Amino acid sequence: MTLRLSPAAIAVPPMISSQKGRSMKLDQKTIRLAVAIAASILVIFLSIAMKSSLPPPRDMFGYRVPDTTHWRMLAIIASGAAGFGLGWFISPQGRPFRLFVFALLAIGLFLVVYLDNGAVGWGLTPIASVAAFAIGLGYWLRSVVTRLTEMPTTFGSAQWADNDHLINNDVIGTDGIRLGHRHEDGAKLPLRYKGDRHILTCAPNRSGKGTTAIVPNLLTYPGSVIVIDPKGENAMMTAARRQDMGQDVHVVDPWGITVSAGLSVSRFNPLDLLMPGDIDLAENAMLLADAIIIPSENGNSFWDEEAKGKIQGIIGHVATHEDEAGNRHLGRVRDLLLLDGEDMQALHELMLQSPYHFIKSAGARALQQDDKLRANITATVQSQTHFLDSPRIRESLSASDFRFEDLKTNPMTVYLVLPSDRLNTFGRWLRLLIQQAITVNARNIEAQPEHPVLFILDELPALGRLSMIEQAFGLMAGYGIQLWGVVQDLSQLKRIYGDGWETFISNAGLVQYFGSRDRMTADYFSALCGQTTVWNVSSAISRAIGSTSGKSASHSETTTYSDTTAATMRKLAYPDELMRLPRGKQLLFIDNLNPIQSYRTPWFKDENLRDLGRNLRA
């Protein structure tokens, strides 16, 4: 019979604890202590009251005796205080005081031995010698014992970050991106990310990413921010606070969702970036075309590239031709794309007269194509610009009330509000604005604000594959901008960006994981946590029984016990554990630090934040 103990049970405590875990335990402990103290005080007062109403004390023979109640009570209180003090003295919390006391005793003993040349000095010399010998030997034995008892690293050395590790690496503090908190002795230790590398958050739907991650930072981040706000709630909860922080606030909300909260709506026209005579005119027009044309999934890039070339030329025409003054917006581009017959022919011929090569080239290609090819390309462009038929979108794109270039130079917050049910249909509108915001701020390398411009890209996959974001994650850290992408699971990234999806993780200085039911995501983060080495203890019991018959019959029985200890591998966190990650708990992966287990609290339950924002659920 063999009894085998699980390695996880021996060396590694469970990775997952309940959401309220330690904080609830500490709260209950505090409550129990307060109740016990209150009950004790109540009992004392009741005892005093009852004592005053009782007759004088007498012994068993009826004789009056002195009242010693106060001495008995004093003995009980003194015993409790002595036990409490001794317990604190030997506890980890009493270690500094304990070392101080031992140091005083050692100094006192040395002074007596040194100054007294009589019996006392000679009598204490052996004690001081033994103490000195023990201290010297213990100094080296400590390292030997530590070496013998420390875990091996044969199969891996992954471990969870403790508070000392976080303090030494400047993660615990009050400056930087808010990440949640950890606990120590009943207190909350705030966690912050102070680096300038990009951030990626993996949080499933309804996991509280808004209330525990995005909103807390909108309420406190001192730099400029541009945030995708699918529900408009971020703007309604934090816009007033951002204004109080001295920020210019613009809510770009084509559907007016936030108007009910008293917020005014701003507009933005991407074509305002295209200035006649600008050497970057062709490049800027191509960036707009790249944001509008989403690559097809069939892998045939011919139609996509031709569509980009056509719409680039028409965008350039609208932005530069004198007859289009007053109509320089994407709504006008859509109108021109819907021309047919002689009108479209006339447009192409007009583009041939442009002084700009890319506009002239687009017109020439269109005139050289046969009718069928030209019709197919035009149909492709038309199908990718349906969103411009929306009167709300056309109005929002008709003029500009602010400039993205000012994000680096003036404190500004821009909310891009697009309802979740319209993300797929009008995602190109978001692509246009995000692409241009990143482009103009990445170009302005000379401007280095004290705090990077923070791009909070909630529902990042809704933007589709956007080359500017992919490049920014890989190349633009330190450009005075910081991207914060939010996805529901890693499968979304892989579906959109293909083999390049891991770029977002490898180039992120901080990765947040709130748990998910997606197996691929859980497997990936389990591997990201790493492997550790634990002791595998096996206990075996074997029993041998023998007997003989006949005249010399005999019976024998032998029992053998054996214990075997061997190092083995264990994942620091198994995928099934991560798939059951409690709500309110998160894993953090910061640069080259050990993985961090921490907690996150909704902003309206945080005493430092709840008065700063507007609680829509109150």
- Please work out, in degrees rounded to the nearest 5, the angle formed at the alpha carbon of residue 357 by the alpha carbons of 352 and 359: 55
In the numeric block, the tokens 């797929």 are attached to 424
On whether residue 295 sits in a domain, the answer given is yes
Q: Do 262 and 228 share a structural domain?
A: yes
Q: Is residue 15 predicted with pLDDT exceeding 60?
A: no
Q: Are residues 379 and 416 in the same domain?
A: no
**What are the tens digits of pLDDT across the range 401-445?**
999 999 999 999 999 999 888 988 899 999 999 999 999 998 888
Side-chain half-sphere CA neighbours of 198 within 13 A: 26
According to DSSP, the residues that pair with 543 across neighbouring strands are: 559
| CA gap 262, 243 in Å, rounded | 14
Stronger pLDDT, 230 or 148, i.e. the higher one: 230
Which amino acid is residue 584, in one-letter code?
Answer: G
Please report the beta strands in 337-474, taking only residues with DSSP state E, as ranges in sequence order. Answer: 412-417, 453-457
Read off the pLDDT of residues 338-364 as tens digits, 9 standing for 90 and up: 998 889 999 999 999 999 999 999 999
**Structure-block tokens of residue 436:** 């241009």
Specify if 392 maps to a domain: no
Left, alpha or beta for 206 (phi > 0: left; psi -120 to 50: alpha)?
A: left
**pLDDT confidence tier of residue 59, bands split at 50, 70 and 90:** low
Is the confidence at residue 574, as pLDDT, over 50?
A: yes
Domain membership flag for residue 33:
no
The rounded distance, in Å, linking the Cα atoms of 509 and 567 is: 33
Q: Show Cβ contacts of residue 578 under 8 Å, excluding neighbours closer than 6 positions.
A: 513, 515, 516, 522, 525, 526, 587
What pLDDT is recorded for position 9? 36
Q: Are strands 225-229 and 453-457 parallel, antiparallel or unpaired?
A: parallel
Report yes or no on 177 lying in a domain. no
Give the Cα-Cα-Cα angle 318, 324, 325 (nearest 5 degrees): 115
430, 507: one domain: yes
Are 207 and 19 in contact, with CB atoms under 8 Å apart? no
Where does the pLDDT of residue 380 fall: very low under 50, low under 70, confident under 90, or very high at 90 and above?
very high
State the Cα–Cα distance between residues 66 and 367, nearest whole angstrom. 121
> How is 192-207 classified by DSSP, letter by letter?
EE---SEEEEE--TTS
Residues 287, 210 share a domain: no
Which one of 92, 122, 150 terminates a domain? Answer: 150
Give the end of a domain, one of 150, 179, 209.
Answer: 150
Residue 472 near residue 323, CB atoms below 8 Å: no
Regarding whether 252 and 308 lie in a shared domain, the answer is: no
Q: How many independent structural domains does the chain possess? A: 4
Which phi and psi (to 5°) does residue 455 adopt? -100, 105
Cα 177 to chain centroid, rounded: 9
Question: Is 207 inside any structural domain?
Answer: yes
Q: Look at residue 148 in the predicted model and tell me its pLDDT.
A: 60
- Compute φ and ψ for 559, nearest 5 degrees: -120, 130
- Whether residue 20 has pLDDT greater than 50: no
One-letter identity of residue 564 = T
Which among 483, 513, 500, 474 has a CA at the least distance from the CA of 597?
513
Indicate the range of 32-41, 105-114, 359-368, 522-531 predicted with least confidence: 32-41
Asked if 279 and 364 sit in the same domain, the reply is yes
Strands 596-599 and 585-590: antiparallel
The predicted structure's pLDDT at residue 320: 95
Segment 537-557 shows an average pLDDT of 72
Residues 342 and 247 in one domain: no
- Residue 33: pLDDT above 80? no
CB 311 within 8 A of CB 287: no
Question: Domain range for residue 410?
Answer: 195-268+400-513
pLDDT tens-place string over residues 306-327: 999 999 999 999 999 999 998 9
Q: Phi and psi for 178 in degrees, rounded to 5?
A: -75, 130
In a domain, 168, yes or no: no
What is the distance between the alpha carbons of residues 406 and 404, in angstroms, rounded to a whole number? 5
d(CA 555, CA 138): 53
Judgement on whether residues 311 and 377 belong to the same structural domain of the protein? yes
Single out the residue in 361, 387, 413 at which a domain terminates: 387
Asked whether 431 and 402 are in contact (CB, 8 A), the reply is no
Same domain, residue pair 370 and 469: no
pLDDT at 216 over 80: yes
Instruction: Specify whether 80 is located in the same domain as 146.
Output: yes
Q: Which pair of structure tokens corresponds to residue 559?
A: 């029992």
Confidence of residue 151 (pLDDT cuts 50, 70, 90): low
Q: Within a domain: residue 584?
A: no
Question: For 247-293, what is each residue's pLDDT tens digit?
Answer: 999 999 999 999 999 999 999 999 999 999 999 999 999 999 999 99
Comparing 108-117, 454-463, 494-503, 522-531, the range with the smallest average pLDDT is 108-117
Handedness of CA 226, 273, 471, 521 (dihedral sign): positive
Q: What is the pLDDT of residue 30?
A: 64
Residue 264 shares a structural domain with residue 406 = yes
Pinpoint the alpha helices (H) of 153-244: 163-168, 209, 215-218, 233-244
With pLDDT > 90 as the criterion, what percentage of the chain qualifies? 50
* pLDDT > 70? residue 22: no
DSSP category for residue 542: E
pLDDT at 385: 94
In this prediction, residue 5 carries a pLDDT of 33
Long-range (24+ apart) CB contacts under 8 A made by 270-276 are 270/330, 270/397, 270/432, 270/433, 270/436, 271/315, 271/318, 271/319, 271/328, 271/329, 271/330, 272/328, 272/400, 272/403, 273/436, 273/440, 274/315, 274/316, 274/319, 274/320, 274/328, 276/319, 276/320
Distance of CA 515 to the CA centre of its chain: 11
Question: CA-CA distance, 474 to 213, in Å (whole number)?
Answer: 23
Which residue blocks in 463-595 are alpha helix, DSSP H? 467-475, 490-497, 503-506, 519-529, 575-579
pLDDT value at 73 more than 90: no
Q: What is the mean pLDDT of the chain?
A: 85
CB 571 within 8 A of CB 42: no
* Residue 436: strand, helix, or coil: helix
Nearest 5 degrees, angle CA 60-CA 66-CA 71? Answer: 110
Strand partners of residue 201? 486, 512
**Paired tokens of 402:** 């602010």
Please report the pLDDT score of residue 360 as a whole number.
95
Cβ atoms of 175 and 508 closer than 8 Å: no
Domain for residue 229, yes or no?
Answer: yes
What span, in angstroms and rounded, lies between the C-alpha atoms of 275 and 260? Answer: 36
pLDDT by residue (tens digit) across 579-614?
A: 999 989 999 999 889 999 999 999 999 999 999 999
Residues 210 and 309 in one domain: no
Q: What is the mean pLDDT of residues 455-463?
A: 91
Confidence tier at 17 by pLDDT (50, 70, 90)? very low
* Confidence band, pLDDT 50/70/90 cuts, at residue 52: low
Q: Which residue has the tokens 């009251």?
A: 49
What pLDDT does 534 receive?
A: 76
pLDDT > 70 in the chain, percent: 88
84-105 per-position pLDDT tens digit? 888 878 887 778 888 888 888 8
